[in-house]
């Protein structure tokens, strides 16, 4: 637990309180866990619109002639996919192919990238990029303290942007546009952590309250409600999105996490590539596997059994409001359990019937091939 002296507050802190946010200490950040209730907030995002303060997320700018080279060398994904105005979800890998972080790298221009990093890892990522780029023509800046961020998520969110940022409607998934909002230089991307279509607005602190209030106003016809970390977690886990520090870390590799599609072995060398080449050839011993159950709510740390033998434990687990059952993911050995394989999960000393499940558990509008592009 952080003490009162070290707790960090976002520029939206007072606004969160005004809207009734139940504030908690989240890795040293004071953020709302919920407003009107996790189930209600979850449903609003799945069916219409919800808004989140995600200002704890970090922003690292990588600029200069070697910006592409540095990111290509430090990422498992191929940065060539990130042409100007586009981003890629990627894993920053260490020498053992463990994850320094999972990130989104946006190409703003051929020599200018914005990397969105996790809150708890922003300093580590910055130092990693800086060290790796020490002998390159590149400038790495950790500007996490300069920006706030709001995520507006849900199938009706694009309609809200007709007036606010019509150019954002033309963006594909992971697209980004730079835009002046309330007189300040901002970034609007078609991204999120909920599995629904929507946008994230990265903006200087001084206008973020205005951005939030504008979203509340534009979202009113769609019943937009403020959402907290609780719903953020149930939404991301249903969507099979990884949580750094819980599901992935410096040790587990991208192949083990079930995110093999992120790895581009044929793009040329990158840090940790050889380990991934070997894992691709020989297979992995453990893999992050989905589990569902109905006789309780699984939690992080619950042990998983198959034929009476322990095969792993859950890294993330919760109640799924969409499926109305318990869901979880954990590293299992054997690594290739077929969905439907009977398992047991130990909850409070009792083994509850469960089964292996495909991940994502639920595919929202973010997974759809066609996105709303405007009237």
Partner 1 sequence: MAKPEEVKYTKTHEYVLPGAEATVGISDHAQHEMGDVVFVELPKVGQKLEKEKPCAVVESVKSAFDIYAPVSGEVTAVNDAVTGEPALLNQSPLEKGWLFKLKPSNPGEADALMDWAAYQEFVKQAAH
Neighbours of 261 (CB within 10 A): 9
CB distance 276 to 76 below 8 Å: yes
Nearer Cβ to partner 1 (28/295): 295
How many residues contact partner 1, by CB under 8 A?
15
The answer to the question of residue 330 lying near partner 1 (CB under 8 A) is no
Binding partner 1 by CB under 8 A: which of 87, 158, 175, 230? Answer: 230
Q: How far is the CB of 21 from partner 1 (least distance, A)?
A: 13
Query: What does the DSSP assignment read for 226-253?
Result: E--HHHHHHHHHHTT---BTTTB-SSSB
SS3 call for 75:
strand
- Distance from C-alpha of 86 to C-alpha of 79, rounded to nearest angstrom: 10
Lay out the site mask for partner 1 across 234-273 (x = CB under 8 A, - = otherwise): x---------------------------------------
Q: Given the rule CB under 8 A, which of 54-62, 80-88, 292-300, 357-365 is the region that contacts partner 1?
A: 292-300
What are the C-alpha distances in Å from 348 to residues 142, 257, 319, 370? Answer: 43, 26, 16, 44
Q: How far is the CB of 319 from partner 1 (least distance, A)?
A: 5
Q: Given the rule CB under 8 A, which of 31-39, 92-100, 106-114, 174-182 is the region that contacts partner 1?
A: 31-39
Nearer Cβ to partner 1 (294/373): 294
The answer to the question of residue 37 lying near partner 1 (CB under 8 A) is yes
Query: What does the DSSP assignment read for 20-68?
Result: T-EEEEETTEEEEEESS-HHHHHHHHHHT-EEEE-TTSEEEEEESTTHH
The answer to the question of residue 302 lying near partner 1 (CB under 8 A) is no
Sole residue written with tokens 């939690």? 299
Residues contributing to the site for partner 1 (CB under 8 A):
33-34, 37-40, 230, 234, 296-297, 299, 318-319, 321, 348
């Amino acid at each position: 637990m952080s003490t009162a002296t070290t707790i960090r507050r976002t520029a939206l802190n007072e606004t969160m309180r005004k809207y009734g946010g139940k504030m908690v200490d989240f890795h040293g950040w004071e953020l709302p866990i919920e407003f009107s209730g996790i189930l209600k907030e979850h449903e609003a995002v799945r069916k219409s619109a919800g808004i989140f303060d995600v200002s704890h997320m970090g922003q690292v700018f990588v600029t200069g002639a070697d910006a592409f080279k540095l990111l290509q060398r430090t990422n498992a994904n191929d940065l060539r996919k990130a042409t100007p105005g586009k981003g890629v979800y990627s894993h920053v890998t260490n020498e053992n192919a463990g994850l320094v972080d999972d990130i989104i790298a946006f190409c703003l221009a051929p020599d200018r990238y914005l990397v969105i990093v996790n809150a708890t890892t922003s300093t580590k990522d910055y130092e990693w990029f800086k060290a790796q780029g020490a002998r390159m023509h590149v400038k790495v800046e950790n500007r996490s303290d300069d920006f706030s961020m709001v995520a507006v998520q849900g199938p009706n969110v694009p309609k809200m942007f007709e007036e606010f940022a019509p150019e954002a409607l033309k963006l594909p998934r992971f697209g980004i546009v730079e835009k002046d909002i309330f007189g300040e230089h901002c970034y609007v991307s078609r991204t999120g952590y909920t599995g629904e279509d929507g946008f994230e607005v990265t903006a200087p602190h001084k206008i973020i309250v205005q951005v939030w209030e504008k979203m509340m106003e534009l979202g009113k016809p769609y019943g937009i409600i403020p959402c907290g970390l609780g719903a953020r977690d149930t939404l991301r886990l249903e969507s099979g999105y990884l949580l750094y520090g819980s599901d992935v870390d410096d040790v587990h590799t991208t192949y083990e996490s079930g995110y093999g599609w992120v790895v581009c072995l044929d793009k040329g060398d990158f840090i940790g590539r050889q380990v991934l080449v070997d894992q691709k050839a020989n297979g992995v011993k453990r893999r992050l596997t989905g589990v569902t159950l109905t006789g309780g709510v699984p939690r992080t740390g619950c042990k998983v059994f198959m034929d009476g033998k322990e095969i792993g434990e859950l890294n993330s687990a919760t109640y799924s409001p969409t499926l109305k059952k318990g869901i979880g993911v954990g590293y299992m050995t054997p690594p290739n359990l077929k969905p439907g394989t009977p398992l047991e999960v130990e909850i409070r000393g009792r083994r509850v019937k469960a089964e292996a499940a495909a991940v994502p558990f639920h595919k929202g509008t973010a997974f759809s091939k066609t996105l709303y592009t405007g009237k």
